[in-house]
Structure 1
Protein backbone atom coordinates (compact mmCIF):
# COMPACT_ATOMS: atom_id res chain seq x y z
CA UNK A 1 0.00 0.00 0.00
CA UNK A 2 1.43 3.32 -1.07
CA UNK A 3 2.03 6.02 1.49
CA UNK A 4 -0.57 8.75 1.05
CA UNK A 5 1.79 11.39 2.32
CA UNK A 6 3.60 13.02 -0.56
CA UNK A 7 6.96 14.52 0.39
CA UNK A 8 7.54 18.02 -0.95
CA UNK A 9 11.17 17.16 -1.71
CA UNK A 10 12.01 16.99 -5.39
CA UNK A 11 14.16 14.16 -6.72
CA UNK A 12 15.73 14.20 -10.17
CA UNK A 13 16.58 10.48 -10.31
CA UNK A 14 16.98 10.37 -14.08
CA UNK A 15 19.38 13.30 -14.02
CA UNK A 16 21.52 11.55 -11.44
CA UNK A 17 21.65 8.39 -13.55
CA UNK A 18 22.26 10.24 -16.81
CA UNK A 19 25.98 10.71 -16.25
CA UNK A 20 26.63 7.34 -14.60
CA UNK A 21 27.65 5.56 -17.81
CA UNK A 22 30.19 8.26 -18.62
CA UNK A 23 31.57 8.16 -15.08
CA UNK A 24 31.94 4.37 -15.26
CA UNK A 25 33.83 4.63 -18.55
CA UNK A 26 36.21 7.25 -17.17
CA UNK A 27 36.75 5.23 -14.00
CA UNK A 28 37.80 2.21 -16.04
CA UNK A 29 40.35 4.36 -17.85
CA UNK A 30 41.65 5.85 -14.60
CA UNK A 31 41.94 2.48 -12.88
CA UNK A 32 44.33 1.29 -15.57
CA UNK A 33 46.82 3.83 -14.26
CA UNK A 34 46.29 3.51 -10.53
CA UNK A 35 45.19 1.37 -7.62
CA UNK A 36 41.66 1.26 -6.31
CA UNK A 37 40.73 3.94 -3.82
CA UNK A 38 39.52 2.73 -0.44
CA UNK A 39 36.24 4.15 0.82
CA UNK A 40 35.01 3.51 4.37
CA UNK A 41 31.31 4.15 4.95
CA UNK A 42 30.27 4.39 8.59
CA UNK A 43 26.54 3.82 9.22
CA UNK A 44 25.96 5.67 12.47
CA UNK A 45 24.59 4.12 15.66
CA UNK A 46 23.32 0.50 15.61
CA UNK A 47 22.27 -2.17 18.07
CA UNK A 48 20.72 -0.73 21.21
CA UNK A 49 21.66 2.77 20.03
CA UNK A 50 18.86 3.69 17.63
CA UNK A 51 19.95 7.27 17.19
CA UNK A 52 17.16 9.74 16.53
CA UNK A 53 13.60 8.41 16.24
CA UNK A 54 11.44 9.96 13.53
CA UNK A 55 7.94 11.26 13.94
CA UNK A 56 6.75 8.24 11.96
CA UNK A 57 8.84 5.80 14.01
CA UNK A 58 11.69 5.52 11.52
CA UNK A 59 15.08 5.03 13.18
CA UNK A 60 18.26 6.91 12.36
CA UNK A 61 20.33 3.71 12.59
CA UNK A 62 18.14 2.04 9.93
CA UNK A 63 18.41 4.94 7.48
CA UNK A 64 22.19 4.95 7.86
CA UNK A 65 22.66 1.23 7.20
CA UNK A 66 20.21 1.24 4.29
CA UNK A 67 22.03 4.08 2.54
CA UNK A 68 25.42 2.49 3.27
CA UNK A 69 24.37 -0.87 1.81
CA UNK A 70 23.03 0.81 -1.32
CA UNK A 71 26.39 2.55 -1.81
CA UNK A 72 28.04 -0.85 -1.48
CA UNK A 73 25.58 -2.25 -4.01
CA UNK A 74 26.07 0.59 -6.50
CA UNK A 75 29.81 0.11 -6.37
CA UNK A 76 29.30 -3.51 -7.38
CA UNK A 77 26.47 -3.25 -9.90
CA UNK A 78 26.91 0.16 -11.55
CA UNK A 79 30.64 0.71 -11.14
CA UNK A 80 31.85 -2.91 -11.33
CA UNK A 81 33.76 -2.69 -8.03
CA UNK A 82 35.77 0.30 -9.20
CA UNK A 83 36.44 1.09 -5.54
CA UNK A 84 37.16 -0.91 -2.42
CA UNK A 85 34.17 0.01 -0.27
CA UNK A 86 33.99 -1.14 3.35
CA UNK A 87 31.30 -0.57 5.98
CA UNK A 88 32.05 -0.19 9.67
CA UNK A 89 28.98 -2.34 10.33
CA UNK A 90 27.00 -4.60 8.01
CA UNK A 91 24.10 -5.34 10.32
CA UNK A 92 22.29 -3.95 13.34
CA UNK A 93 25.19 -3.99 15.78
CA UNK A 94 26.79 -1.26 17.85
CA UNK A 95 30.42 -0.53 17.02
CA UNK A 96 32.41 1.79 19.24
CA UNK A 97 33.50 5.12 17.79
CA UNK A 98 37.11 4.20 18.40
CA UNK A 99 36.77 0.94 16.48
CA UNK A 100 35.15 2.75 13.56
CA UNK A 101 38.14 5.05 13.22
CA UNK A 102 40.56 2.18 13.82
CA UNK A 103 39.06 0.30 10.88
CA UNK A 104 39.60 3.25 8.58
CA UNK A 105 43.19 3.57 9.75
CA UNK A 106 43.94 -0.15 9.42
CA UNK A 107 42.55 -0.16 5.88
CA UNK A 108 44.57 2.94 4.99
CA UNK A 109 41.34 4.51 3.78
CA UNK A 110 41.33 7.31 1.24
CA UNK A 111 38.09 8.75 2.64
CA UNK A 112 35.82 8.16 5.65
CA UNK A 113 32.13 9.03 5.50
CA UNK A 114 29.88 8.68 8.55
CA UNK A 115 26.14 8.62 7.77
CA UNK A 116 23.47 9.94 10.13
CA UNK A 117 19.95 11.30 10.34
CA UNK A 118 19.24 14.62 11.98
CA UNK A 119 16.57 15.75 14.44
CA UNK A 120 15.40 18.96 16.08
CA UNK A 121 12.49 20.29 18.09
CA UNK A 122 11.50 22.54 15.21
CA UNK A 123 10.58 21.72 11.62
CA UNK A 124 14.17 22.05 10.45
CA UNK A 125 14.95 20.33 7.18
CA UNK A 126 17.77 19.69 4.76
CA UNK A 127 21.21 18.14 4.63
CA UNK A 128 24.39 19.29 6.30
CA UNK A 129 27.92 17.97 6.55
CA UNK A 130 30.29 18.16 9.52
CA UNK A 131 34.06 18.10 9.38
CA UNK A 132 36.98 18.47 11.76
CA UNK A 133 39.59 21.11 10.94
CA UNK A 134 40.79 19.90 7.54
CA UNK A 135 40.81 21.53 4.11
CA UNK A 136 40.62 18.20 2.30
CA UNK A 137 37.66 17.15 4.44
CA UNK A 138 35.96 20.42 3.54
CA UNK A 139 36.44 19.70 -0.17
CA UNK A 140 35.03 16.17 0.27
CA UNK A 141 32.08 17.43 2.30
CA UNK A 142 31.30 20.16 -0.22
CA UNK A 143 31.39 17.67 -3.08
CA UNK A 144 28.91 15.36 -1.33
CA UNK A 145 26.66 18.23 -0.25
CA UNK A 146 26.55 19.84 -3.70
CA UNK A 147 25.79 16.55 -5.45
CA UNK A 148 23.02 15.47 -3.10
CA UNK A 149 21.25 18.80 -2.71
CA UNK A 150 21.67 19.63 -6.38
CA UNK A 151 20.27 16.34 -7.64
CA UNK A 152 17.64 15.61 -4.99
CA UNK A 153 16.29 19.05 -4.21
CA UNK A 154 17.22 18.86 -0.52
CA UNK A 155 17.86 22.09 1.32
CA UNK A 156 21.58 22.82 1.59
CA UNK A 157 22.50 23.59 5.19
CA UNK A 158 26.23 23.86 4.56
CA UNK A 159 29.51 22.35 5.70
CA UNK A 160 30.13 22.95 9.40
CA UNK A 161 32.91 22.32 11.89
CA UNK A 162 32.49 19.93 14.83
CA UNK A 163 34.70 18.10 17.28
CA UNK A 164 32.98 14.72 16.90
CA UNK A 165 35.16 11.84 18.05
CA UNK A 166 34.65 9.81 14.90
CA UNK A 167 35.99 12.74 12.86
CA UNK A 168 38.71 13.78 15.27
CA UNK A 169 40.21 10.28 15.29
CA UNK A 170 40.18 9.78 11.51
CA UNK A 171 41.08 13.19 10.12
CA UNK A 172 44.77 12.70 10.92
CA UNK A 173 45.13 10.04 8.24
CA UNK A 174 42.30 10.62 5.73
CA UNK A 175 39.62 13.16 4.80
CA UNK A 176 36.61 12.53 7.05
CA UNK A 177 33.06 13.83 7.01
CA UNK A 178 29.85 13.22 8.94
CA UNK A 179 26.78 13.56 6.73
CA UNK A 180 23.42 14.43 8.26
CA UNK A 181 21.18 13.08 5.49
CA UNK A 182 18.01 14.85 6.60
CA UNK A 183 15.70 15.43 9.55
CA UNK A 184 13.64 12.51 10.82
CA UNK A 185 11.84 15.07 12.97
CA UNK A 186 10.57 16.78 9.81
CA UNK A 187 7.32 15.26 8.45
CA UNK A 188 8.29 15.41 4.77
CA UNK A 189 11.83 14.11 5.23
CA UNK A 190 10.80 11.39 7.69
CA UNK A 191 8.34 9.95 5.15
CA UNK A 192 10.82 10.51 2.33
CA UNK A 193 13.17 8.05 4.04
CA UNK A 194 10.49 5.32 4.01
CA UNK A 195 10.80 4.92 0.24
CA UNK A 196 13.42 2.44 -0.98
CA UNK A 197 13.63 4.45 -4.21
CA UNK A 198 14.53 7.58 -2.26
CA UNK A 199 17.11 5.67 -0.22
CA UNK A 200 18.71 4.52 -3.48
CA UNK A 201 18.68 8.06 -4.82
CA UNK A 202 20.39 9.44 -1.71
CA UNK A 203 22.97 6.65 -1.76
CA UNK A 204 23.82 7.20 -5.41
CA UNK A 205 24.10 10.95 -4.99
CA UNK A 206 26.37 10.57 -1.96
CA UNK A 207 28.49 8.04 -3.85
CA UNK A 208 28.80 10.31 -6.90
CA UNK A 209 29.82 13.13 -4.56
CA UNK A 210 32.60 10.91 -3.17
CA UNK A 211 33.70 9.93 -6.68
CA UNK A 212 33.79 13.56 -7.78
CA UNK A 213 36.21 14.21 -4.92
CA UNK A 214 38.40 11.18 -5.60
CA UNK A 215 38.40 11.59 -9.38
CA UNK A 216 37.97 15.33 -10.05
CA UNK A 217 37.10 16.21 -13.59
CA UNK A 218 35.10 13.06 -14.42
Structure 2
Protein backbone atom coordinates (compact mmCIF):
# COMPACT_ATOMS: atom_id res chain seq x y z
CA UNK A 1 0.00 0.00 0.00
CA UNK A 2 1.48 3.35 -1.03
CA UNK A 3 0.25 6.75 0.09
CA UNK A 4 1.42 10.04 -1.40
CA UNK A 5 0.94 13.25 0.54
CA UNK A 6 1.70 16.64 -1.02
CA UNK A 7 1.91 19.93 0.82
CA UNK A 8 2.32 23.43 -0.57
CA UNK A 9 4.96 25.52 1.14
CA UNK A 10 5.55 29.24 1.31
CA UNK A 11 8.46 31.33 -0.02
CA UNK A 12 11.83 29.74 0.59
CA UNK A 13 10.30 26.40 1.58
CA UNK A 14 10.01 23.83 -1.16
CA UNK A 15 7.15 21.55 -2.15
CA UNK A 16 7.29 18.15 -0.50
CA UNK A 17 5.98 14.67 -1.26
CA UNK A 18 6.08 11.82 1.21
CA UNK A 19 5.79 8.19 0.18
CA UNK A 20 4.90 5.97 3.10
CA UNK A 21 4.82 2.22 2.65
CA UNK A 22 2.41 1.21 5.36
CA UNK A 23 2.87 -2.46 4.52
CA UNK A 24 6.61 -2.19 5.20
CA UNK A 25 5.91 -0.17 8.32
CA UNK A 26 3.73 -2.92 9.73
CA UNK A 27 6.52 -5.48 9.34
CA UNK A 28 9.17 -3.31 11.02
CA UNK A 29 7.76 -3.23 14.54
CA UNK A 30 6.71 -6.29 16.47
CA UNK A 31 5.97 -4.34 19.63
CA UNK A 32 4.25 -0.98 19.96
CA UNK A 33 6.65 1.79 20.95
CA UNK A 34 5.66 4.36 23.56
CA UNK A 35 6.32 7.99 22.63
CA UNK A 36 5.76 11.11 24.72
CA UNK A 37 5.30 14.33 22.74
CA UNK A 38 5.94 17.43 24.84
CA UNK A 39 4.41 20.66 23.43
CA UNK A 40 6.45 23.34 25.20
CA UNK A 41 5.06 26.26 27.20
CA UNK A 42 1.26 26.69 27.48
CA UNK A 43 -1.20 28.67 29.58
CA UNK A 44 0.33 31.87 30.91
CA UNK A 45 3.65 30.97 29.27
CA UNK A 46 3.22 31.83 25.59
CA UNK A 47 6.80 31.05 24.61
CA UNK A 48 8.08 33.04 21.65
CA UNK A 49 5.77 35.71 20.20
CA UNK A 50 6.41 36.06 16.51
CA UNK A 51 5.29 37.72 13.31
CA UNK A 52 1.56 38.57 13.24
CA UNK A 53 1.46 37.75 16.97
CA UNK A 54 1.76 34.00 16.30
CA UNK A 55 2.47 32.21 19.59
CA UNK A 56 4.92 29.37 20.08
CA UNK A 57 2.63 27.63 22.58
CA UNK A 58 -0.12 27.37 19.93
CA UNK A 59 2.14 26.17 17.13
CA UNK A 60 3.71 23.36 19.14
CA UNK A 61 0.35 22.21 20.51
CA UNK A 62 -1.12 22.09 16.99
CA UNK A 63 1.82 20.04 15.74
CA UNK A 64 1.55 17.66 18.71
CA UNK A 65 -2.17 17.13 18.09
CA UNK A 66 -1.53 16.44 14.41
CA UNK A 67 1.16 13.88 15.25
CA UNK A 68 -1.45 11.97 17.26
CA UNK A 69 -3.99 12.21 14.43
CA UNK A 70 -1.53 11.00 11.78
CA UNK A 71 -0.39 8.15 13.99
CA UNK A 72 -4.00 6.96 14.11
CA UNK A 73 -5.16 7.68 10.56
CA UNK A 74 -2.04 6.77 8.59
CA UNK A 75 -0.15 4.38 10.85
CA UNK A 76 -3.10 2.61 12.49
CA UNK A 77 -1.85 3.54 15.99
CA UNK A 78 1.52 1.93 15.35
CA UNK A 79 2.94 4.06 18.17
CA UNK A 80 1.43 4.55 21.61
CA UNK A 81 1.59 8.35 21.73
CA UNK A 82 1.01 10.44 24.84
CA UNK A 83 1.22 14.22 25.21
CA UNK A 84 2.35 16.21 28.22
CA UNK A 85 -0.54 18.60 27.52
CA UNK A 86 -3.62 18.41 25.30
CA UNK A 87 -4.94 21.92 25.88
CA UNK A 88 -3.62 25.42 26.51
CA UNK A 89 -2.38 24.70 30.01
CA UNK A 90 0.97 25.19 31.70
CA UNK A 91 2.63 21.98 32.88
CA UNK A 92 5.73 22.20 35.05
CA UNK A 93 9.01 20.96 33.64
CA UNK A 94 9.29 18.45 36.46
CA UNK A 95 5.85 17.00 35.69
CA UNK A 96 6.76 16.64 32.02
CA UNK A 97 9.77 14.56 33.00
CA UNK A 98 7.75 12.58 35.55
CA UNK A 99 5.25 11.56 32.87
CA UNK A 100 8.00 10.25 30.60
CA UNK A 101 9.51 8.22 33.43
CA UNK A 102 6.15 6.89 34.61
CA UNK A 103 5.24 5.68 31.14
CA UNK A 104 8.71 4.18 30.61
CA UNK A 105 8.70 5.90 27.26
CA UNK A 106 10.79 4.62 24.38
CA UNK A 107 11.25 8.19 23.09
CA UNK A 108 10.57 11.69 24.46
CA UNK A 109 10.25 14.56 21.97
CA UNK A 110 9.87 18.14 23.22
CA UNK A 111 8.53 20.61 20.63
CA UNK A 112 9.52 24.28 20.55
CA UNK A 113 9.97 27.22 18.17
CA UNK A 114 12.85 29.68 18.13
CA UNK A 115 13.11 33.44 18.60
CA UNK A 116 15.77 35.92 17.52
CA UNK A 117 16.24 39.68 17.39
CA UNK A 118 17.60 39.06 13.90
CA UNK A 119 14.58 38.69 11.56
CA UNK A 120 16.79 36.79 9.08
CA UNK A 121 17.56 33.99 11.54
CA UNK A 122 16.02 30.79 10.20
CA UNK A 123 16.19 27.02 10.26
CA UNK A 124 15.66 24.08 12.56
CA UNK A 125 17.90 22.67 15.26
CA UNK A 126 17.53 19.64 17.50
CA UNK A 127 18.96 19.49 21.01
CA UNK A 128 20.26 16.54 22.99
CA UNK A 129 21.27 16.55 26.65
CA UNK A 130 24.94 17.41 27.20
CA UNK A 131 25.01 14.95 30.09
CA UNK A 132 26.43 11.54 29.31
CA UNK A 133 23.79 8.94 30.11
CA UNK A 134 22.64 5.47 29.15
CA UNK A 135 20.69 6.71 26.13
CA UNK A 136 22.96 9.54 24.94
CA UNK A 137 24.01 7.79 21.73
CA UNK A 138 20.44 6.80 20.86
CA UNK A 139 19.22 10.35 21.56
CA UNK A 140 21.85 11.82 19.23
CA UNK A 141 20.90 9.40 16.46
CA UNK A 142 17.22 10.27 16.95
CA UNK A 143 18.05 13.97 16.72
CA UNK A 144 19.88 13.49 13.42
CA UNK A 145 16.98 11.51 11.96
CA UNK A 146 14.39 14.15 12.88
CA UNK A 147 16.55 17.03 11.68
CA UNK A 148 17.31 15.30 8.38
CA UNK A 149 13.60 14.86 7.69
CA UNK A 150 12.81 18.50 8.46
CA UNK A 151 15.62 19.59 6.15
CA UNK A 152 15.22 17.19 3.24
CA UNK A 153 11.45 16.78 3.20
CA UNK A 154 10.31 20.24 4.26
CA UNK A 155 13.19 22.41 3.08
CA UNK A 156 13.99 24.01 6.43
CA UNK A 157 17.61 25.09 6.77
CA UNK A 158 19.55 22.83 9.12
CA UNK A 159 21.22 24.55 12.08
CA UNK A 160 22.65 21.30 13.39
CA UNK A 161 22.27 18.90 16.29
CA UNK A 162 23.30 20.66 19.47
CA UNK A 163 23.90 19.77 23.10
CA UNK A 164 22.43 21.65 26.07
CA UNK A 165 21.46 21.26 29.72
CA UNK A 166 17.72 21.91 29.30
CA UNK A 167 15.76 20.53 32.24
CA UNK A 168 13.42 18.32 30.22
CA UNK A 169 16.44 16.73 28.57
CA UNK A 170 18.58 16.11 31.62
CA UNK A 171 15.67 14.68 33.62
CA UNK A 172 14.68 12.15 30.95
CA UNK A 173 17.81 11.10 29.04
CA UNK A 174 18.74 8.49 31.65
CA UNK A 175 15.38 6.79 31.05
CA UNK A 176 15.18 6.85 27.24
CA UNK A 177 16.25 8.77 24.11
CA UNK A 178 15.21 12.41 24.52
CA UNK A 179 15.36 15.35 22.09
CA UNK A 180 14.14 18.94 21.96
CA UNK A 181 13.14 20.17 18.48
CA UNK A 182 13.27 23.88 17.60
CA UNK A 183 10.92 23.98 14.59
CA UNK A 184 12.01 27.25 13.00
CA UNK A 185 11.85 30.90 14.05
CA UNK A 186 8.64 32.70 15.02
CA UNK A 187 10.50 35.92 14.19
CA UNK A 188 11.21 34.92 10.59
CA UNK A 189 8.49 35.98 8.14
CA UNK A 190 8.64 32.80 6.03
CA UNK A 191 8.84 30.34 8.89
CA UNK A 192 6.20 32.00 11.08
CA UNK A 193 3.89 32.34 8.09
CA UNK A 194 4.39 28.66 7.30
CA UNK A 195 2.61 27.69 10.52
CA UNK A 196 -0.47 29.76 9.70
CA UNK A 197 -1.55 27.06 7.22
CA UNK A 198 -3.06 23.82 8.63
CA UNK A 199 -1.60 21.79 5.74
CA UNK A 200 1.90 22.84 6.85
CA UNK A 201 1.21 21.92 10.47
CA UNK A 202 0.35 18.49 9.07
CA UNK A 203 3.54 18.38 7.03
CA UNK A 204 5.68 19.19 10.07
CA UNK A 205 3.91 16.54 12.15
CA UNK A 206 4.41 13.93 9.45
CA UNK A 207 8.10 14.80 9.04
CA UNK A 208 8.64 14.28 12.78
CA UNK A 209 6.74 11.00 12.70
CA UNK A 210 8.86 9.79 9.80
CA UNK A 211 11.99 10.78 11.71
CA UNK A 212 10.78 8.51 14.52
CA UNK A 213 10.02 5.77 12.00
CA UNK A 214 13.55 6.00 10.57
CA UNK A 215 15.04 5.90 14.05
CA UNK A 216 13.17 2.74 15.10
CA UNK A 217 13.73 1.16 11.70
CA UNK A 218 17.48 1.47 12.28
CA UNK A 219 17.11 -0.96 15.15
CA UNK A 220 19.03 1.02 17.76
SS at match of 2:153: helix
Q: Match of 1:185?
A: 187
Alpha-carbon RMSD across the aligned residues, in angstroms, is 1.3
Larger helix proportion of the pair: 1
Structure 2: distance between partners of 1:58 and 1:12? 23
Q: Match of 2:97?
A: 101
| 1:45 equivalenced with 2:41 (yes/no) | yes
Q: Match of 1:144?
A: 146
Structure 1: distance between partners of 2:53 and 2:14? 23
Per-residue CA distance 1:143-181 (angstroms, 9 max, x = gap): 000011100110000000000000000000101000000
Is the Cα contact below 8 Å between 1:40 and 1:88 reproduced in 2? yes
Q: Match of 1:128?
A: 125
Q: Match of 2:72?
A: 76
Q: Match of 2:115?
A: 119
Q: Match of 1:3?
A: none
SS at match of 1:131: strand
Is the Cα contact below 8 Å between 1:148 and 1:154 reproduced in 2? yes
Query: Mind listing any 5+ residue stretches in structure 1 that lack a counterpart?
Result: 1-5
Runs of 4+ in 1 over 3 A off after TM superposition: none
Structure 2: distance between partners of 1:7 and 1:56? 16
Per-residue CA distance 1:70-117 (angstroms, 9 max, x = gap): 000000000000110000000000000011011011001000000001
Structure 2: distance between partners of 1:43 and 1:64? 5
Q: Which of the numbers 193, 196, 204 marks the counterpart of 1:194?
A: 196
| 1:85 equivalenced with 2:67 (yes/no) | no
- TM-score, normalised to structure 2's length? 0.90
Q: Match of 2:26?
A: 28
Aligned pair count? Answer: 205
Per-residue deviation, 1:136: 1.2
Alignment of 1:4-19 (within 5 A): 7-13=10-16, 15-16=17-18, 18=19
Per-residue deviation, 1:27: 2.5
Larger strand proportion of the pair: 2
Query: Mind listing any 5+ residue stretches in structure 2 that lack a counterpart?
Result: 1-8, 131-135
Structure 2: distance between partners of 1:86 and 1:54? 27
Structure 2: distance between partners of 1:109 and 1:9? 36
Per-residue deviation, 1:183: 0.1
Structure 1: distance between partners of 2:14 and 2:89? 31
Per-residue deviation, 1:7: 3.2
